[in-house]
Structure 1
Amino acid sequence: MKKFIAVFLVLYFIINPIATAAETKTYSQGFYTMKDLNLSENTIYKVQNNEPYVQGLLIILDSNSRVQQLIRIPSNSTENTLIPLAKDYKFIIYNNVNLTFFQ
């Protein structure tokens, strides 16, 4: 019984981080910060729209509320490259879309 528990715990801690790293989070209409989206500073990300019939709009603002990037994201888009991000950037996602951010 002790062997079974030990093997189970080892497998759990090996498999669990792999499963959580593979999860992708989608974000819908709203206001977000870098922390909300779990994005890192000075990293180039890509964004895609997972909705089949709805276009979206992504607006990236700096700390002075100046637009740094505005992207119209078509439905079922594969990837749109973002500018390198700073820690104080804010994001506005407009329309009923589901956006996924990835590297």
Structure 2
Amino acid sequence: MKKFISIFSIFLFLSFSITTATVADINQPRTFKEGFYNIRDLGLMENVSYSVQNLSEYRGFMVVFDSEQKIQQAISLDPRSQKFPLKPIRNSDRIVILGQGALTFS
């Protein structure tokens, strides 16, 4: 009986610690800095309208290119900016973030 209680206690402790870490990760917005991204890198879904926001104290600039290297959208984001709507992004699109800003997508 003591073995069962000790194994059950360990299992219960591990399940609570795993659940707590998962909930904390969901509530934290992922920020992206300067670089080249596709929608998989950003964790976005295809053909969904998202918003972008700059949460840092620095300016940021974002450009969306299609598969033919044509600019689909370009946004300059002031420090601590409001949310700006984006056009739906496709899997073949590339997103370029320039500047020291930290952008989040929602």
Q: Normalised by the shorter chain, which TM-score bucket?
A: 0.7 to 0.9
Q: Which residue of 1 aligns with 2:92?
A: 88
- For 2:42, which of 26, 31, 37 is the aligned residue? 37
Matches within 5 A, 1:21-100: 21-52=26-57, 54-100=58-104
Provide structure 1 residue ranges, at least 5 long, that are not aligned to the other structure: none
CA distance, structure 1, for counterparts of residue 90 and residue 72 of structure 2 = 10
SS in 2 for 1:83: coil
Residue 96 of structure 1, CA deviation: 1.2
Provide structure 2 residue ranges, at least 5 long, that are not aligned to the other structure: 1-5
- For 2:10, which of 5, 8, 11 is the aligned residue? 5
- Once superposed, what is the RMSD of the aligned Cα atoms? 1.5
CA distance, structure 2, for counterparts of residue 18 and residue 11 of structure 1 = 11
Higher Cα Rg, which structure: 2
Q: How many matched pairs? A: 101
Return the TM-score normalized by structure 1: 0.86
More helix as a share of residues: 2
Return the TM-score normalized by structure 2: 0.84
